[in-house]
Amino acid sequence: MKVTFPHMGNSYIAIKALLKGLKLEVVVPPPISNKTYELGVKNSPEFACLPLKLNMGNFIEALDQGADTIVMAGGWGPCRFGYYAQVERDILRDLGYDFDIYILESPDSKLTELILQLKDLGQNVSLAEALKALRFAWIKLKAVEQMEKKLEYYLPRSLDKDKTEKIYEKSLKDIDDANNKREINQILKSSIKQIESIECTNDKILKVGLIGEIYTILEPASNVNIVKTLGRLGVEITRSTYLTDWINDHILGGYIKKSNHKNIIKCAKPYVNYWVGGHGRETIGYAVHFAKQKYDGLIQIGPLTCMPEIVAQSILGKVGEEKEIPHMTIYFDEQSGSAGINTRLEAFVDMIQRNDSFVLKEDAKSEILSWS
């Protein structure tokens, strides 16, 4: 059995470790490229959102490299993600691919269900071996996120941004290659020491909250690498979604690490009092949370036609006005070009720098608060 799965940011490092721990041969899809986009767009419904199209591109490239089994997450609720696996399966079979597909359904905080699903997927693994594989994948995921947060903090401050990015990229490769927890700890210690030794600017750094749909936030290829782009513009990003938080809140029942989810849901009230699918409620909750933390601005991102984020966008203007925090919304699809997106980001950063530097007249302030 040669198993593959779709990309979503750096999560492939942990997923690969998990599947190897289940004694499976893993075919990691190539990094998302123009070819991935072309394959996905060509073989997906036009109205489908960007994550489905990129999943399709990932699967076709992996099947062409010998994979014969796809592992895909399931879902439910008012978001099209719950249909992804079934739609992708039918399209790929119509294209003539012969493969098996395992759909890991959302366990809704019941960890035992997830472990049993993983044990069934593995090749004659015991329950203890499945647990060991899950634990090692978690350790790798935490290490990856630690380096992602270091990049988000140090890239806007660093005077040698190329070197900062190189250290970060090398640390990810080393974590991917690591065979045990001791090696991962050594990699983290060395990489963090290197990144912290780079000379930093004393200038004030703008802080922006990145809110929105989970895939678009986590996958740089779907958002023209917005974290690095803003980092190079001197902006420190804090994301509303980190994968360990999502797993802890939605799969592990909030028992593995301290959870902020209840506070975020509380922050969303009275703007959103119920679940609207996807991460729409969390988008508003984090918008309020970041405003309370005195962030300089908010950027909401999501795939074009994402219903939960459209609901959130319709409320975000009121949040921005009442909490006096500038905000901008960007939707991504296969037509999104880096030049256009970068121009919009530069303009937004200029605006919040003005907001930070000058006392604004009321008419100018209202112009700055909404920049969609």
The band of 44, judged by pLDDT with boundaries at 50, 70 and 90, is very high
pLDDT greater than 60 at residue 172: yes
pLDDT given at position 120 = 79
CA 127 to mean position of chain CA atoms = 30
What is the number of residues in the chain?
Answer: 372
241 with 348, same domain: the answer is yes
Instruction: Compare 106 and 194 and report the one with higher pLDDT.
Output: 194
178 with 108, same domain: the answer is no
343 with 220, same domain: the answer is yes
Residue 335 CB neighbours (<10 A):
9
- Closest to 323 measured CA to CA, from 370, 280, 264: 370
207 with 349, same domain: the answer is yes
Two tokens, residue 42 = 């060509």
Partners of 329 in beta bridges: 300
104 with 185, same domain: the answer is no
Phi-psi region of 306 (alpha: psi -120 to 50; beta: other; left: phi over 0): beta
15 with 69, same domain: the answer is yes
pLDDT given at position 256 = 82
165 with 313, same domain: the answer is no
Contact 301, 332 (CB under 8 A): yes
Alpha helices in the chain (DSSP H): 11-21, 34-42, 50-64, 81-94, 111-121, 127-154, 161-177, 181-196, 214-218, 226-232, 243-250, 261-268, 280-292, 307-323, 338-357, 362-369
What's the mean pLDDT when you consider all of the chain? 91
Q: Which of 200, 229, 249 is at the close of a domain? A: 200
Give the C-alpha separation, 253 to 166, whole Å: 36
Q: Which of 154, 182, 200 is at the close of a domain? A: 200
Q: Which residues have a Cβ under 8 Å from the Cβ of 322 and sit 6 or more positions away?
A: none
Q: Tell me what the mean pLDDT of segment 149-162 comes to.
A: 98
For residue 170, give its domain range.
127-200
pLDDT given at position 27 = 97
pLDDT greater than 50 at residue 359: no
pLDDT given at position 127 = 84
pLDDT given at position 60 = 98
Q: Tell me what the mean pLDDT of segment 70-74 comes to.
A: 88
pLDDT greater than 80 at residue 182: yes
pLDDT given at position 356 = 66
Q: Tell me what the mean pLDDT of segment 132-136 comes to.
A: 93
Residues 285/288/289/294 CA torsion (nearest 10 deg): 160
Residue 107 CB neighbours (<10 A):
18
pLDDT greater than 60 at residue 367: no
pLDDT given at position 360 = 47
222 with 334, same domain: the answer is yes
pLDDT given at position 63 = 98
| Residue 19 belongs to domain with CATH number | 3.40.50
| Residue 244: strand, helix, or coil | helix
234 with 305, same domain: the answer is yes
Q: Tell me what the mean pLDDT of segment 248-272 comes to.
A: 88
Q: Tell me what the mean pLDDT of segment 260-280 comes to.
A: 92
pLDDT greater than 60 at residue 266: yes
The band of 366, judged by pLDDT with boundaries at 50, 70 and 90, is low
pLDDT given at position 332 = 96
Domains contained in the chain, number: 3
pLDDT tens digit sequence for 290-338? 999 999 999 999 999 899 999 999 999 999 999 999 999 999 999 888 9
Contact 26, 13 (CB under 8 A): no
Total-model pTM: 0.91
Q: Tell me what the mean pLDDT of segment 172-176 comes to.
A: 98
166 with 290, same domain: the answer is no
pLDDT greater than 80 at residue 105: no
pLDDT tens digit sequence for 110-130? 677 777 777 778 778 888 888
pLDDT tens digit sequence for 216-250? 999 999 999 999 999 999 999 999 999 999 888 87
Contact 103, 5 (CB under 8 A): no
Instruction: Compare 40 and 358 and report the one with higher pLDDT.
Output: 40
Q: Which of 145, 166, 200 is at the close of a domain? A: 200
Instruction: Compare 163 and 103 and report the one with higher pLDDT.
Output: 163
pLDDT greater than 90 at residue 103: no
212 with 350, same domain: the answer is yes
